[in-house]
Amino acid sequence: MEMPEKTTRRENLRMDGALHPDPEKVKSGLFTGNAFFDPEDIAQVKYEMLRSVQVEKLSITEASRKFGLSRPSYYQGLEQFEKHGLMGLIPLKSGPKQAHKLTGDVMSFIKEHLDIPGKKDWVKISRQVYEKFGRRVHPRSIERSLRLEKKTRAAAQ
Amino acid sequence: MKTAIKEPELQQEYELLRDNARGITNFSRGLCVFLQRGMIGWMRFLNYRLQEIPGPLSAYDAGPASMFHKQELASGMNGILADVLIFSNSQQ
């Protein structure tokens, strides 16, 4: 089987956050000589690692070594696979999923104060947030967050 | 990613593709998507298929890559199908 253009597939995997960080560590014979098995596709490598233990009865140590992943990765992969199936092998996006200080209630409070006409005093709003919620938020963070929200809303329309 | 396809069907689909991919010389639609987009792109394709075009998955995806449904081609589907068609044409 001929290989698809490698850069295109790699770019697609990278955009999906599914690029194996160390594809050269994948030593399994499956991943050499057949374009279907791609050592750069982390979801496929994880599935094949789990499969090699379940079907081919490899030990966990041997499987993790052959597929270039750690033993903890094996156990994490297995747990996710048992809970969610193949979809569980898709890497989760790293980083915070939402603001941990500027939560919904804080943002609503800020917006209420923004309705007051006149120049926005971000330092004052920041102080009011601290007094009401006990959270120290930099005035620039409040301004940036509101700007981002406005931009997102405009893009959605 | 929201999904419409449920386990164990998804795993069965992968196993079918896996079996067919060994030494295969003709490129099915499902296989072309897999080769071009990897596992996640392929799962996205299957979900799209189930939601947009009725009918059994395996029978459909075993068809030749040159026979993509008009609806799929019209949608573009985030460039997946455009990529796949270029790839499948390059194999012929």
Q: Please, what's the b/e burial string for A86-100 (b: 16 or more CB within 10 A of its CB; e: otherwise)? A: bbbbbeeeeeeeeee
Would the CA dihedral through B71, B72, B74, B78 be positive or negative? positive
Domain count, chain A: 2
- Does residue A83 sit in the same domain as residue A30? yes
The reply to whether ipTM tops 0.90 is no
B 5-44 residues with CB < 8 A to A: 6-8, 10-11, 14, 17-18, 21-25, 31, 34-41, 43
- Does residue A10 sit in the same domain as residue A83? yes
- Structural domain includes residue B54: yes
- Does residue A83 sit in the same domain as residue A104? no
- Structural domain includes residue B2: no
- Does residue A60 sit in the same domain as residue A122? no
Question: Do the beta carbons of residue B33 and residue B42 sit within 8 Å?
Answer: yes
- Structural domain includes residue B33: yes
Return the structure tokens found at A132. 């009401």
CA-CA distance, B47 to A52, in Å (whole number)?
27
DSSP A131-152: HHH-----HHHHHHHHHHHHHH
- Does residue A130 sit in the same domain as residue A81? no
Q: What residue numbers bound the domain in which A31 lies?
A: 6-89
CA atoms within 13 A on the CB side of A81: 20
- Structural domain includes residue B38: yes
- Does residue A112 sit in the same domain as residue A67? no
Q: How far is A42 from chain B (nearest CA, A)?
A: 9
pLDDT at B25: 55
Q: How far is B71 from chain A (nearest CA, A)?
A: 23
Q: What residue numbers bound the domain in which B34 lies?
A: 9-91
| Residue B71 predicted with pLDDT over 60 | yes
Q: By the CB < 8 Å criterion, does A57 face chain B? A: no
- Structural domain includes residue A133: yes
pTM tops 0.90: no
Q: Which of chain B's residues have a Cβ under 8 Å away from the Cβ of A89?
A: 39
Per-residue pLDDT of chain A (157 residues; tens, 9 = 90+): 555 556 678 888 888 889 998 999 999 999 987 888 999 999 999 999 999 999 999 999 999 999 999 999 999 999 999 998 898 898 876 666 677 888 888 888 888 877 666 677 888 888 988 998 888 989 888 888 888 888 877 766 6
- Structural domain includes residue B59: yes
Going by pLDDT thresholds of 50, 70 and 90, the confidence category of residue B2 is: very low
Q: By the CB < 8 Å criterion, does A63 face chain B? A: no
- Structural domain includes residue B67: yes
- Does residue A53 sit in the same domain as residue A25? yes
- Does residue A85 sit in the same domain as residue A102? no
Across the interface, which of B3, B18, B21 has its CB nearest the CB of A87?
B3
Nearest CA in chain A to B4: A87
User: Which of B25, B39, B83 has the most A C-beta neighbours within 10 Å, making it the best mutation to test the interface with A?
Assistant: B39
- Structural domain includes residue A156: no
Return the structure tokens found at B85. 């068609």
- Structural domain includes residue B37: yes
pLDDT at B26: 59
- Structural domain includes residue A154: no
Domain count, chain B: 1
Q: What helix, strand, coil percent values describe chain A, rounded to 5?
A: 60, 0, 40
- Structural domain includes residue B1: no
Highest mean pLDDT among A70-74, B24-28, B35-39, B60-64: A70-74
